[in-house]
């Protein structure tokens, strides 16, 4: 968008994150580390759109918390993470593994261990806020066409963009 070229990628994403979070009723933590630089206008525009669409996708899934980070090192790394509060699963009070037990009791303990493992897996799944699969594919394809390395964690709750950063483009200089 024109605004990202006028005021820069960091302030534009910061404002978008704040406004989208307010509309969704979710606090979006925003952090930019390092000295932000101007990128070519097409790259800034694409990064804004990709990040903003991913943010909207996560917020539509009703997370409890979202964080958006930008790290300006040798490459610009943008990370977006969404999660829900995990449901507590009580610890099991089963005998230690490998303890000699009568066969019927050993079978009952094994069943309870499996139930506990299933409850832990269900709690982890419930706490994960996934990007919609179609949106994730679209964002990956769009980023790839621009040479942006994109990865979405296996659970789908985090997006990471790595953008090569060449010599800085000063405000007002041709891209």
- The structure tokens listed for 162 are 């790595």
Higher pLDDT pick, 169 / 46: 46
Average pLDDT over residues 53-67: 94
Give the pLDDT confidence score for residue 47 in this predicted structure.
95
* 62-71, 103-112, 118-127, 148-157 — most confident range: 62-71
Q: What is the pTM of this model?
A: 0.75
Name the percent of the chain lying above pLDDT 70: 91
* 33-42, 54-63, 121-130, 155-164 — most confident range: 54-63
Average pLDDT over residues 65-85: 93
Phi-psi label, residue 168: left if phi above 0, alpha if psi -120 to 50, beta otherwise: beta
The CA-atom distances, in angstroms, between 158 and each of 9, 36, 42, 130, 132 are 20, 22, 24, 8, 12
Average pLDDT over residues 130-139: 91
Q: Give the long-range contacts of residues 163-167, CB within 8 A, separation 24 or more.
A: 163/39, 163/43, 163/47, 163/75, 163/76, 163/77, 163/78, 164/75, 165/37, 165/39, 165/72, 165/74, 165/75, 165/76
Taking 70 as the threshold, does the pLDDT of residue 168 lie above it?
A: no
Question: Is 83:64 a contact under the CB 8 Å cutoff?
Answer: yes
Taking 70 as the threshold, does the pLDDT of residue 76 lie above it?
A: yes
Average pLDDT over residues 81-90: 84
Taking 70 as the threshold, does the pLDDT of residue 78 lie above it?
A: yes
Taking 70 as the threshold, does the pLDDT of residue 1 lie above it?
A: no
The end-to-end CA distance of the chain, in Å, is 15
Average pLDDT over residues 23-28: 94
Taking 50 as the threshold, does the pLDDT of residue 167 lie above it?
A: no
């Amino acid at each position: 968008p024109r605004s990202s070229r006028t005021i820069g990628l960091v302030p534009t994403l910061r404002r978008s994150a704040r406004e989208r979070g307010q509309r969704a009723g979710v606090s979006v933590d925003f952090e930019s580390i390092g000295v932000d630089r101007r990128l070519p206008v097409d790259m800034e525009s694409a990064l804004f759109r990709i990040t903003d669409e991913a943010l909207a996708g996560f917020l539509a899934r009703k997370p409890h918390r979202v964080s958006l980070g930008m790290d300006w090192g040798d490459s610009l790394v943008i990370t977006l993470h969404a999660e829900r509060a995990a449901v507590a699963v009580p610890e099991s009070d089963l005998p230690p593994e490998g303890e000699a037990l009568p066969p019927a009791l050993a079978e009952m303990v094994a069943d309870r261990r499996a139930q506990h493992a299933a409850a832990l897996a269900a709690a982890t799944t419930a706490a994960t806020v996934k990007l919609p699969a179609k949106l994730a594919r679209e964002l990956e394809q769009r980023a790839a066409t621009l040479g942006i390395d994109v990865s979405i964690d296996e659970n789908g709750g985090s997006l990471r963009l790595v953008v090569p950063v060449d010599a800085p483009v000063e405000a007002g200089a041709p891209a």
